[in-house]
Amino acid sequence: MRERARSAPLGVAGALAELGRSMIHGLAWSVLVATTAPSGSALAAFLGGVVGCLVGARVGRSRLRTFVLLAGAVSSIFVVAWLHSMATRGSLLAATLGPVGALRLASTLTALAVAAVASAAVRALSTRRATFAVLELLLVAAAFAQLLIPHRHGAINRPFYLADWVIALGWDPTWLFLFMGGTATVLGLVLLLREQRFGRAVLNLGVIGLLLGLIVVATPMIGMPPPPEGGSGLGLRPSESEDTDAEGRGGDRGGAANSELEFRNKYDRGGERVPVAVVLFHDDYSPPSGVYYFRQGAFSQYNGRKLVVSGRSDIDRDLIPYFPTRSIRIGEAPAMNENRGPLETTVALMADHTQPFALEAPVEVEPLQNPSPNRFRRVYKAVSGVLTADYSAILDATLGSTTWSKEQWAHYTETPPDPRYAELAARIVSSLPDELRDNPIAQAFAVTAWLGQEGIYSLKNEHSGAADPTASFLFGDLTGYCVHFSHAATYLMRSLGIPARVATGYAISESARQGGSSLLLSGGASHAWPEVFVDGFGWVVMDVYPERALDPPEQPMDADLQRLLGELARGASPIPLSATDIPRIKEMARRVTFTAGAWLLFLLASILVALYVVKLWRRMAPSFAVAESLPRLVYRAELDRIGEVAIRRREGESRESFAIRIRDQLPSFQRLTNAHIAAAFGGYQPPPGELKDDAAAVRRDVRAGFPLRKRFLGLITPWSWLRSK
């Protein structure tokens, strides 16, 4: 009975379902291969997946043991790998086809073989046990992940070949990927459908379609999936445990949700490529240092171990206190003069932050309407007093403010009690020329230059466990990251009587704008730097630029993604359409139509090829069968042959009744039927010669009873075997 269940025909619905599964296998393998091999390999992988799935379904219903099946699949993969190595390293194939041709042919054949073997093994296992169907689901999931892996880290403009045409129409590409995710879900669920009844399968697919429809309808109300948050970024963004109130203030700390900078031995920059904000410049601006500094927080109070956010109400009042719900002016913003000029920017946040930030010194901040709530968390406009004077102009200025009290001066110049800071600071400034040795601005530059020359930038260090991490860094191996450098510079400057503090936010090179008006900030741009207060200039960045680094430099963000998010922040279509765009859209539509037509023809041709391959295999299988499988395979081959001339078993009709009904037309088929039934149920094994003689007799009856035209039409019909049962 077990063999009968395995060898029972599937019927039309079952055969169509099997063919659909094979097409899914082929598409999955073609996607997996397309990004790593020549173009012809994707087609070969598609054909291999289709054929392998069909063959695997037959193997799964055979008497072949599972461990033998797995061993054969693994051995076949090793053989394919060995043949690929021999073909690419040997000289015979290269001499015949050339090096490029040999590599292309080897890759194509390897893709065909691997897809065929792997799909056959996966399908055979899922045929044996329903639980193994999860392997097919994983195959579809892997293909979908491979297709959209460039879309990770919020890169909604990738992969280009999928997103470009959506962007050209002025749409958000995320909708395309949401649709593709739903499609992949449908394909995966189809693979898990074990029902052979056509009506039940249609009902299940209808329920799946209804659920996907609910997802599509609910998405505009709930919102698109947000981009990943990435790392915490020096405390610039809140952790999961931190809350904000209705006005965006962080707890009860006046917006300073993170009051401390952490010294870490192994700083994790996970998510550094994730976009967290996009800044739009309303006017062109080139900073004197070549770096844009977006200040968010300041750390100026020494707590006995490091600098933290000040608890005084008269300190660091130049920061934006909270996210604006109305227009607010910064009380102690620097004055607009020959040293600083106003610059408007729009900041669109794609990740939650503890408090707002702005370019250099913010003067006024006001909220803006969010043009894309599905993409941005908050959008606001900031007017900043950006530095326009050259750094050489600062040399003649005085430090501090004439309005400061003694307590404020003491606050900004407090240092650790360790005398080594003052000794090192004095040694550094002693190298200055005589005319600059007493100039505090020149002294500050000397400190940052010395740290840049002597220090080594690395996220991996061993200073966090020290009582004074900055001293461990400065008087130790001088290896650390921005928190170490900024603290060291601030302490050394304060030892010289220079009012200084550590600021945090984002720092990114001017070249990252790449000529555009938008600038994309990622988690990797989070930074801490030292600042000094200069009369008439306000707080001026005095950053340290280490000349040596043990970590690789940060890679620039994608220019296309930067431009796209900038346009979305403006509330405009990514590429606004005009009358001049109509011919381009028509040309794109023509290409899309041509491509879709070509793929449709390719799909139809692939289906025909797969049908012919299966038909040929069923016809040729008796020539390669073992003795115990020969009665079933011979019977199946001749059943396909008489089906080509429209002689088929009816629904519910037994094999014996079918043979009796057609006895007048095909008398030899009854002997073949009896041999098949005797082998399947009685354990009787007819001699192979007798089976072949019975099959030959059936072929003679077909030739004698049906005209050549009808036999030829049946022979060239690729789907005739689907109705055999």
pLDDT of 618 above 60: yes
User: Per mean pLDDT, which of 66-75, 244-253, 447-456, 600-609 is the most reliable?
Assistant: 447-456
pLDDT digits (tens, 9 = 90+) for 114-150: 888 888 888 888 877 766 776 776 777 777 666 655 5
Q: Name the 3-class secondary structure at 80.
A: helix
Mean pLDDT over each residue of the chain, to the nearest integer = 78
Helix (H, G, I), strand (E, B) or coil at 433: coil
pLDDT at 253 over 50: no
pLDDT of 610 over the 70 cut: yes
Name the least confident of 201-205, 409-413, 582-586.
201-205
CA–CA dist 591, 603 (Å, integer): 18
Length reported for the chain? 725
Comparing C-alpha atoms, which of 9, 62, 3, 15 is closest to residue 677? Answer: 3
Question: Mean of the pLDDT values across residues 60-67?
Answer: 80
Q: Name which residue leads in pLDDT, 222 or 405.
A: 405
Q: Which of the listed ranges 363-367, 613-617, 657-661 does the model predict with the highest average pLDDT? A: 363-367
pLDDT at residue 478 in the model:
93
Q: Which of 216, 150, 220 is nearest to 183 (CA)?
A: 216
Tokens 């650790």, located at residue: 416
Domain extents in the chain: 2-226, 275-570, 619-723
Residue 543 confidence (pLDDT) above 70: yes
pLDDT of res. 6: 42
If you average pLDDT over residues 28-46, what whole number do you get?
Answer: 74
- The answer to whether residue 359 scores a pLDDT higher than 60 is yes
Cα(351)–Cα(272) distance, rounded to whole angstroms? 13
Alpha-carbon gap, residue 278 to 284, rounded angstroms: 16
Structure token pair of residue 453: 């020359």
pLDDT value at 670 more than 90 = no
Mean pLDDT for 237-265 is 51
pLDDT tens readout for residues 457-504: 988 888 888 899 999 999 999 999 999 999 999 999 999 999 999 999
**In the predicted model, is pLDDT for residue 95 greater than 90?**
no
State yes or no: pLDDT of 21 exceeds 90: no
275-570 fold: C8orf32 fold (3.10.620)
The region of weakest confidence among 311-320, 407-416, 424-433, 643-652 is 643-652
Angstrom distance (rounded) from CA 622 to CA 602: 31
- What angle in degrees, to the nearest 10, is found between the helix axes of 482-495 and 420-429? 80
What average pLDDT does the segment 593-619 reach?
Answer: 80
pLDDT higher than 90, residue 362: yes
- Of 168-182, 270-284, 308-322, minimum mean pLDDT range: 168-182
Question: φ, ψ for residue 422 (rounded to 5)?
Answer: -65, -40
With a cut of 90, say whether residue 351 has pLDDT above it.
no
Examine the pLDDT at 349 and tell me if it is beyond 60: yes
The most confident of the ranges 202-211, 678-687, 698-707 is 698-707
The answer to whether residue 577 scores a pLDDT higher than 90 is no
Q: What pLDDT score was predicted for residue 523? A: 82
Which residue would you say has higher pLDDT here, 404 or 5? 404
Is there a contact between 373 and 384 (Cβ–Cβ < 8 Å)? no
Burial 514-525, CB ≥16 within 10 A → b, else e: eeebbbbbbbbb
SS3 for 135? helix
d(CA 349, CA 521): 9
413 versus 56: the higher-pLDDT residue is 413
Examine the pLDDT at 109 and tell me if it is beyond 80: yes
Cα–Cα distance measured from residue 456 to residue 629, given in angstroms and rounded to the nearest whole number: 73
Lowest mean pLDDT among 239-253, 289-303, 544-558, 648-662: 239-253
pLDDT at 3: 37
End-to-end CA distance of the chain, in Å? 17
Q: What is the mean pLDDT of residues 266-281?
A: 76
Helix (H, G, I), strand (E, B) or coil at 346: strand
What residue has token string 């043990």? 550
Give the pLDDT confidence score for residue 596 in this predicted structure. Answer: 67
Look at residue 367 in the predicted model and tell me its pLDDT. 94
pLDDT one-digit tens code per residue, 518-537: 898 888 888 999 999 999 89
Kindly state the average pLDDT of the residues 424-449.
Answer: 93
Confidence of residue 241 (pLDDT cuts 50, 70, 90): very low
Q: Computed over its alpha carbons, how large is the radius of gyration of the chain?
A: 37
- Decide if pLDDT at 589 tops 70: no
Mean pLDDT of 644-665: 86
The Cα 74–Cα 60 span in angstroms is 16
Residue 353 and residue 236 in contact, taking contact as beta carbons nearer than 8 Å: yes
Higher model confidence: residue 209 or residue 691?
691
Q: Which residue has the tokens 């859209």?
A: 585
Query: To 10 degrees, the CA torsion angle through 400, 403, 405, 411?
Result: -40
Of 199 and 470, the one with more pLDDT: 470
Vertex 96 angle, CA 94 and 97, to 5°: 70
